Structure 1
Amino acid sequence: MLEAHDITLGYRPGVSVLRGVSLQLAAGEWLGLSGASGSGKSTLGRALAGHHTLRSGSLQLDGAPLPRHGLHPVQWLPQVPELAVNPRWRIGRILAEAWTPDAALRQRFGIGDDWLERYPHELSGGELQRVAVLRSLAPGVRYLIADEISSMLDAITQAELWQTLAEVAEQRDLGVLVIGHDRALLKRLCQRRLWLENGQLCAEA
């Protein structure tokens, strides 16, 4: 179980983006998170993956603090995949930095062998997003924070990406937090949905 307990954080002194936020995400569960632009959705996602220092509250995995070193068991996937990769590295090295997925899994994500010698700028946004998702699935990862990962993709690529990710998540019992504005998509993918407003969470019907 991934848990946030009464967390508060902000970027400027005296201004809090998140205020007393608590949530639970179980292994194998898909949880949707929506809210207006600027409500703090991405901030919460990055915080769960250890990218922010909390002002107060705590994050726990199975009742223990999240690790500070080594592979983080919670991986944040941004909307813009360029933010997740080194532009000077070839795709093969980008993947190998986290782990070495076998050819069968690469093929499931539509990543051809020839991609491994390319640089990020030589792939389309949809292609690079597949690489970023695959990279996040290293052994030891237990939760994914999918932050608007399909909002810039065409409908076919979007459907293919979610289908493949759902299959792998089910096989590995991964918990997935899906952040997005497309509430119809969240309803299709997720068992529960939350709404973030003014830095606080509430359940969404």
Structure 2
Amino acid sequence: MLETHQLSFHFAAGTPLLADISLRLAPGEWLGISGDSGSGKSTLGKLLSGQLTPSQGSVQVDGSPLPTRGLRPVQWLPQSPELAVNPRWRVGKILREAWTPPDTLMAAFGIEDEWLKRFPSALSGGELQRVCVLRALAPGVRYVVADEISTMLDPITQLSLWQALKAHAEHHQLGVIVISHDTALLNRLCHQQWHLAGGSLRISSTALKAP
């Protein structure tokens, strides 16, 4: 179970951006989070994955705090994949930094062997995003925070990416948080949706179509 308890965050000497957020996500569940630009959606994603330290409250997986070293059980996937990779590393090394995916999973995400010899700048945004999503699915990962990961992709790439992630998550009972402005996408993917506004999460719908 991924849980937050009265999670709050503010920048130095600033007004809290997020205040007293509590949520629970079970393995295999999909939760959608929407909200206006600047509402703190990406900040929440970073807190859930340990990229940021909360000002108050905690994030726990199965009752234990997130580890500070090694592979974290919660992985955050940003909208811009080039920000999540070392531009001086070839794609093969970027993947192997986390794990060596099986050929069947490489094929499911449409990743070609030739890409592994290239640098990130030689891939398109959609190609690099597929690599970053696959890298985040290493053994030991229990939850994934997908932060607008398909916003900049063409419709065909969007569909194939979500289909591959959905199939893998179902097979391995991964919990997935989908952060998006696209309510139609959230309706298709998520069990429940929450809206972030004024620093607080409010439930907007539940019992939606299961992923």
Is 1:112 matched with 2:109?
A: no
**Corresponding residue for 1:172?**
172
Deviation at 1:12, TM superposition (A): 2.6
Deviation at 1:14, TM superposition (A): 3.3
Structure 1 segments, 4+ long, off by >4 Å, are: none
**Corresponding residue for 1:193?**
193
Moved more, 7-16 or 29-38: 7-16
**Corresponding residue for 2:72?**
72
**Corresponding residue for 1:57?**
57
Matching residue's letter, 1:185:
L
Show the 5 A alignment for 1:97-136: 97-136=97-136
User: Can you give the 5+ residue segments of structure 2 that lack an aligned partner in the other structure?
Assistant: 206-211
Specify the SS of the correspondent of 1:187. Answer: helix
Identical-residue share of aligned pairs (%): 61
Moved more, 98-107 or 6-15: 6-15
**Corresponding residue for 2:209?**
none
User: Can you give the 5+ residue segments of structure 1 that lack an aligned partner in the other structure?
Assistant: none
Q: How many aligned positions are there?
A: 205
Matching residue's letter, 2:23:
L
CA distance in 2, matches of 1:55, 1:203: 23
CA distance in 1, matches of 2:17, 2:51: 14
CA distance in 1, matches of 2:102, 2:143: 21
Specify the SS of the correspondent of 2:7. Answer: strand
**Corresponding residue for 2:30?**
30
Deviation at 1:65, TM superposition (A): 1.3
Question: In angstroms, what is the RMSD of aligned CA positions?
Answer: 0.7
CA distance in 2, matches of 1:76, 1:147: 7
CA distance in 2, matches of 1:54, 1:150: 27
What do residues 45-74 of structure 1 show as CA deviations (whole Å, max 9, x unaligned)?
000000111111111111111111110000
Matching residue's letter, 2:113:
D
Q: TM-score under structure 1 normalisation? A: 0.98
Specify the SS of the correspondent of 1:196. Answer: strand
Q: TM-score under structure 2 normalisation? A: 0.96
CA distance in 2, matches of 1:161, 1:30: 16
